[in-house]
Structure 1
């Protein structure tokens, strides 16, 4: 595989990822351009990125004050120059099988495809990477630069949108390398649910008793049984429960926000 040869711009947004960004950059050395948008790291992240630049990695390091997830990702996309883009987080890495699959996906025979979904394999605290038979989450991460858009009205769970033909890469995964503790996961669920509810309220979304009761349970069953996280033992149970808690927090906060508006 020729280094830096594939016509792909990698899009990475980061802040204080010194412990993670090195393997991330190393895993995308087959791409012709790597856009790193940093929002003010103070932990040595920038020094690591600059070390990779001195090694010859085609990195464009850009500072942009934090405007929120969607706008920061759009900022990175706006600076890309290659025909294809690969969106990846600083705590993720492309595995060897996926590298080959990405090169094949953008090659001859797939001219009609504008975007590719890629599965991400999460690392569970105390367990390691989720069991290989788990149905890993499918995310839009590889797309033609001139076809992708970002919904800037979202505050969280943003994703590049591709209106044309899309497919899923079957072989290889993005490795999500960060092990999240229960405390960190609950804190994130609290923060992200608040951000999501703010967007839902702006869009006029109303709460529903059925959703409040059934959505958390449905999400637990979706991950624990349908996605087969039960194969990860108690660690998979904890992970599925965290999804349930996030779902409940979102629905409960939406109900609370609705009650508050009714009292104004």
Structure 2
């Protein structure tokens, strides 16, 4: 399979990713089209992308002021032209095995699957990529362009939705190359939990004492034991605790919002 020949539009949204986006682009050089939507980078990201355009990469560089995650991803999808789309972050890269798997399932004449889940292998600060026996998160990232929709009411944890048949690519992973510090993870948990709660409040979601007590613990056990992050030693424990903290922050903020909105 030659470069830039698979019938795929890669979708990348970015801002200030000059140190990451190059490796991302090199890992998706099998895609016939690469849509990059930049929301105002000031660190050289645009210059880096333009250098790949000069090398012949089939990149469409678009600029769009930040409207939130779902609308920015929808903006990218609206400009895609290939039958398949691959949603990928600037700090991710397709490994060699996944590359071959994606090429295989997107060839003309492939079966009627409309979307594919891909496993993502996170990089833990001080440890490296999570142990190979960890049950990496599955994300719907590869889908037929004309089948995908985006729930624009969400503020965070958005994902393209595909109503047809979906399966999981078993061979290969997305490498999430960013090493997040504890401080960065806690800051993100605070920001994302607020965004999630705003959406939940809009949808009329009510807090629950059981969820407030059990959801954080349940999420910790899910990641540390069920997903086997204990195999990553103390780094896996810290990662699982960060998931627990995010879960607690979400439930506690939802309870707080219900109190603030209580007319009594």
Distance 1:249 1:263 in 2: 23
Partner of 1:128 in structure 2?
Answer: 128
Q: CA deviation at 1:106?
A: 1.5
Distance 1:136 1:67 in 2: 30
Partner of 2:217 in structure 1?
Answer: 217
Distance 1:106 1:214 in 2: 42
Partner of 1:88 in structure 2?
Answer: 88
Distance 1:19 1:248 in 2: 33
- Residues 57 and 108 of structure 1: is their aligned pair in 2 closer, same or farther, counting only changes over 3 Å? closer
Per the alignment, in what secondary structure is the counterpart of residue 178 of structure 1? coil
Q: CA deviation at 1:108?
A: 5.5
Distance 1:135 1:239 in 2: 14
| Equivalent residues of 2:15, 2:40 under 8 A apart | yes
Which 4+ stretches in 1 moved above 6 angstroms? none
Summarize the alignment of residues 66-77 of structure 1 with structure 2, pairs less than 5 Å apart: 66-77=66-77
- TM-score, length-scaled by structure 2: 0.99
Give CA-to-partner distance per residue, 1:29-60, whole Å, 9 cap, x none.
00000000000000000000000000000000
Per the alignment, in what secondary structure is the counterpart of residue 235 of structure 1? helix
Identify unmatched segments of 5+ residues in structure 1.
none
Partner of 2:14 in structure 1?
Answer: 14
Q: CA deviation at 1:105?
A: 1.3
Distance 1:52 1:24 in 2: 11
Distance 1:108 1:200 in 2: 41
Per the alignment, in what secondary structure is the counterpart of residue 34 of structure 1? strand
| Equivalent residues of 2:35, 2:62 under 8 A apart | yes
Distance 1:146 1:195 in 2: 29
Q: CA deviation at 1:8?
A: 0.1
Distance 2:252 2:263 in 1: 17
Summarize the alignment of residues 106-255 of structure 1 with structure 2, pairs less than 5 Å apart: 106-107=106-107, 110-255=110-255
Q: CA deviation at 1:226?
A: 0.3
Distance 1:92 1:21 in 2: 8
Q: Which moved more, 1:103-112 or 1:74-83?
A: 103-112
- Check if 1:37 corresponds to 2:31: no
Q: CA deviation at 1:109?
A: 6.1
Identify unmatched segments of 5+ residues in structure 2.
none
Aligned length: 264
Per the alignment, in what secondary structure is the counterpart of residue 178 of structure 2? strand
| Equivalent residues of 2:6, 2:107 under 8 A apart | no
